[in-house]
Amino acid sequence: MTYASLYQRSVNDPQTFWAEQARRIDWHKPFTQVLDYSRPPFARWFVGGTTNLCHNAVDRWVAARAEQAALIAISTETNSERTYSYRELQSEVIRAAAMMQALGVGRGDRVLIYMPMIAEAAFVMLACARIGAIHSVVFGGFAAHSLATRIDDVKPVLIVSADAGSRGGKVVPYKGLLDDAITLSPYKPAHVLMVNRGLAEMPMTTGRDVDYAEQKALHMDASVPVVWLESNEISYVLYTSGTTGKPKGVQRDVGGQAVALATSIDYIFCGKAGGTFFSTSDIGWVVGHSYIVYGPLIAGMTTIMYEGLPISPDGGIWWSIVEKYKVTQMFSAPTAIRVLKKQPPELLEKYDVSSLQALFLAGEPLDETTSTWIAGALGVPVYDNYWQTESGWPMMTIAKNIEDKPTRLGSPGIPMFGYKMQLVNETTGEVCAANEKGVLVVEGPLPPGCLQTLYGDDERYVSTYWSNFERQVYSTFDWGVRDDDGYYFILGRTDDVINVAGHRLGTREIEESISSHPNVSEVAVVGIEDKLKGQAAVAFVVLKNAAVLTDDAARAKLEKEIMGVVDKQIGAVGRPSRVYFVNLLPKTRSGKLLRRSIQAICEGRDPGDLPTIEDASSLQQISAAVGR
């Protein structure tokens, strides 16, 4: 079978194609309709069928693979490693499910998870899936303000957290941040379930907070049956940055997600039952959901959860894991590989990585230098892949297990099965010719595994993603170009979301945070090219009282103060790399901020023709501030 023939079947006859792929998972009750697209752009997949993510990820493997390693939790921060077999994983998940039920969590209730990369985080996610609760994982690097907005939006019955995480040997206390977030949020959860790692103080609120270990002791022999869910019920909500400053709750289903992940693990990642999948991401991001927790386990593989840096205790730690656990598939981000490229080569050469079949990289554009180096160093093929929180699995790459087409440096590849992708003119919406720059869009219906809608806000879902052109198509908000052979190249964002080390951040959210500083009048945040992280956020601030900038020391102090505001409200992940002070921001006469022009100046490019700019001296100020 050629990939071209499979792809054409998937987009021309999606009902037959996806009915075949649906055989990869267990169904308690067969579906009666493969696709209901009677209300575009809302797609419902495998209508009437009942299934369960936890059953497909855990229970169905216990009979044949009970003693096979299912989850390996490794922390170089606490120098701990623990392997859970499928039988042990099932027991831990059932205990977590029993704990949550005892705390009043039922089908359709929301559970917010604010945890580091520890095994209990996976237990709780799978336990939610088991009993039909909806989990919403919030990245442990987010500060109280960002956490509070998510609590208020998803309104969890229960929050599950830990005393602390750790990064580079530095303890990051979670409990204080969580307490502050609950205070800030108008919505108050009934209970908070806390894992005590012994890393930081963990003050408990009487009547609300309960200890995970104590609760677990009460449910060691619990029996919690799987709750069979209709395919289109909600499995989880995961927040992603929006251009309005308000995060968007990406809502995913049960059956479509299970089928999509099972299919992608096979066709794209060549994963087989008994293999070992090592994704270096975090459960706070979509890669962690799809390819740390659910995807590998649905495929009957061993999955690795890693807490720590890629260079601690040294730059060989990841390769030592590959050797020790015979990793077959590895998934990471270009930023991490660029960091490892700077390490002594002997730290890679000393380990046997021959079990590794391929390295998959995503989250940001992959440059040729990084790709060529790591492919040569590991002696395995390297595959770029392009996708989004919204899609849940790769939209473009090379489906190696169907046809090992050649990769093309600088390109993530070609559209994957089910995605009817096009490049269209930003103004007219007409389909672009080869080698013509356009906006990357997808014709409906979106394939299984993609977002159903935005949680609690169908209107925003339609207006954000499907209303950008006269013809109703899903916008990725990415510029791209397609060469004569059908390979796509991603050229950057069309909106105000930036990509820092694979983490998508909304510039508006950062701007709103900076604006809360009492001496900030106006602010513009843009993402500029960064050789290590892909992009870095920089801020340009107009002060209410510029007289405070008496000298370089005062300037540096204020810059640090503003960065501290972002740290407190969003977290270090959103902190700008620099804050520049200017008297004026470049705007059009209608008041629109010229972000692309600011970005171009920062990167040493021509800002282009700006005939409608209100005050040209504002651009000169930007140039002077960054030393251009």
Contact between 554 and 547 (Cβ < 8 Å) = no
CA distance 408 to 312: 32
339 against 116, higher pLDDT: 116
Task: Give strand ranges (E) for 333-487.
Answer: 358-361, 382-384, 396-397, 414-415, 420-424, 438-443, 453-454, 473-482
Q: How far is the C-alpha of 176 from the C-alpha of 164, rounded, in Å?
A: 9
Quote the pLDDT of residue 245: 62
Residue count of the chain:
628
**349 SS3 class:** helix
- In the predicted model, what is the mean pLDDT of residues 98-120? 98
Q: Which segment of 132-141, 327-336, 346-355, 522-531 scores lowest on mean pLDDT?
A: 522-531
Tens-place pLDDT, residues 520-547: 988 889 888 888 888 889 999 989 898 9
Q: Is the pLDDT of residue 574 over 90?
A: no
- In DSSP terms, 297 is beta-bridged to none
The pLDDT of residue 507: 80
Quote the pLDDT of residue 370: 87
- Split at pLDDT 50, 70, 90, the class of 179 is very high
CB atoms within 10 A of CB 230: 17
Domains and CATH numbers, the chain: 421-493 (2.30.38.10), 499-626 (3.30.300.30)
Report for 293-302, 356-365, 578-587, 600-609: range of highest mean pLDDT: 293-302
What does the pLDDT look like over 404-457, one tens digit per residue? 899 998 899 999 999 999 999 988 999 999 999 999 999 999 999 999 999 999
Least confident stretch, 122-136, 263-277, 606-620: 606-620
Residue 611 has pLDDT above 50, yes or no: no
Name the token pair of 587: 């705007």
pLDDT at 275: 98
Q: What is the pLDDT of residue 610?
A: 47
From residue 568, how far is each of 140, 177, 392, 516 by CA, in Å? 13, 9, 29, 11
251 CB burial (10 A radius; 0-12, 13-18, 19+): buried
Distance CA 406, CA 394 (A): 17
**The tokens of 381 are what?**
């093929």
pTM of the model: 0.86
> Going by C-beta distance under 8 Å and a sequence separation of 6 or more, which residues neighbour residue 393?
260, 261, 264, 268, 290, 295, 387, 416, 449
How large is the average pLDDT for residues 19-44?
Answer: 98
Average pLDDT of span 596-604? 84
Quick one: average pLDDT of 494-509?
A: 74
Q: Are 251 and 136 in contact (CB under 8 A)?
A: no
Q: Model confidence at 491, in pLDDT bands (50, 70, 90)?
A: confident
Q: How far is the CA of 129 from the CAs of 111, 304, 382, in angstroms?
A: 11, 20, 33
**Angle, alpha carbons 172-174-176 (nearest 5°):** 115
Strands of 290-337, DSSP E: 302-307, 329-332
